[in-house]
Amino acid sequence: MSTRNRTRGEKGKVYLVGAGPGDPELITVRGLRLLRQAEVVVYDRLIPAALLDEAPAEAERIYVGKRPGCHTISQEAINALLVEKARAGKCVVRLKGGDPFVLGRGGEEALALARAGVPFEVVPGVTSATAVPAFAGIPVTHRGLSTAFAVVTGHRAGDAEDDVDWSVYAQVPTLVILMGMKRARRICQALIAAGRPPHTPAAVISWGTTEAQRAVRTTLARLPDAIKEAKLVSPGILVVGEVAALADVLAWFEPAGKSVELAHHSSGEKRIEGNRRWR
């Protein structure tokens, strides 16, 4: 491509690269090019495994992801590792799921690099927050339904440290919740308590954009049970808002022959899907 040479991976520099939402082909052209020139790849748990094969065979691959229930490397240790490898003159690719600056602690790594005087570059990625809904046929904005959306983390919902004011997000037309599968019940209860109607269209998408994707279309009130009944597992994304109903018509991705599943509804709620085509 006729672009500048900025893509040439430099020695002694760290590239904070977004690996995209799961499908390996959703990395950016620049991200892939830098990965192919990397001398050190420091990677997280949820990056597409196929991408690791794109780094040179001789590149050092360092896993710093969390395994549920296992001892994990601290953020401080990751920061120190990046500084150390760059100071050793290496071209370092820090490969993070989604976008490095969207709930990925990339800002903290950039800050550590800046403070250590290590040159760095951010290579934005396709964030799961918009791509995963898109793969379930849900545009986060849609004329007449939503001209705004919010992205929040649900991983502390209900905790003392939960700094998300759910009453604010209850008022946003489209709400995308990352890392909220396990606390879906508390989140949905908080949104309903704050005035969001229980019959608001909602969806849950597990392993979005991958061959393991499973999506369920339901309502805000039914969402926690729908996750349980469909046995959906993390990582997953919750979408709340009128746009979720568009999945009924727009779902196009068929990882295993099925694009979006319909949650089992009580008769009272079933009619919400009544007039829509289900594919």
The SS3 of residue 116 is: coil
Name residues whose C-beta falls within 8 Å of residue 100's C-beta, 6 or more positions apart in sequence.
16, 17, 18, 94, 106, 109, 122, 123, 124, 125
Q: Which of 41, 43, 55, 133 is close enough to bind a second copy by CB under 8 A?
A: 133
Compute the distance between CA of residue 176 and CA of residue 145 in angstroms, rounded to an integer: 15
Q: Does 70 bind a second copy (CB under 8 A)?
A: no
Whether 237 and 215 have beta carbons less than 8 Å apart is answered as no
Under rule CB under 8 A, residue 247 binds a second copy: no
| Residue 211 C-beta: closest distance to a second copy, Å | 8
The reply to whether 245 sits near a second copy by the rule CB under 8 A is no
Work out which of 7, 79, 206, 219 binds a second copy, going by CB under 8 A.
7
Q: Which of 59, 81, 91, 126 binds a second copy (CB under 8 A)?
A: 126
Active centre residues (catalytic): 44, 66, 179
Tell me if residue 178 falls in helix, strand or coil: strand
Give me the 190-229 binding string for a second copy, x by CB under 8 A, dash otherwise.
-------------------x--------------------
- The answer to whether residue 77 forms part of the interface with a second copy (CB under 8 A) is no
Q: Give yes or no for residue 169 binding a second copy (CB under 8 A).
A: yes
- 259: which 2 tokens? 């694009």
Smallest gap from Cβ 107 to a second copy, in A, equals: 3
Residues 35-54, interacting with a second copy (CB under 8 A): 50, 53-54
Question: What 3-state DSSP class applies to 68?
Answer: coil
Question: Which one of residues 17, 152, 238, 245 is an interface residue with a second copy (CB under 8 A)?
Answer: 152
Distances (CA, A) of 187 to 37, 157, 242, 258: 42, 6, 17, 27
Between 134 and 222, CB nearer to a second copy: 134
As a whole number of Å, the CA-based R_g of the chain is 20
Q: Minimal CA–CA distance to 162: which of 175, 152, 172?
A: 152
In the list 64, 81, 92, 122, the residue contacting a second copy (rule: CB under 8 A) is 122
Binds a second copy by CB under 8 A, chosen from 45, 107, 159, 278: 107
Give the binding range for a second copy (CB under 8 A) out of 63-71, 80-88, 139-147, 227-235. 139-147
Q: Which long-range contacts (CB under 8 A, 24 or more apart) does 73-80 make?
A: 75/105, 75/108, 75/109, 78/42, 78/109, 79/108, 79/109, 79/112, 79/113, 80/112
What is the C-alpha separation between 11 and 159, in angstroms, rounded? 43
* Contact pick of 9, 24, 97, 241 for a second copy (by CB under 8 A): 24
Contact call for residue 242 and a second copy (CB under 8 A): no
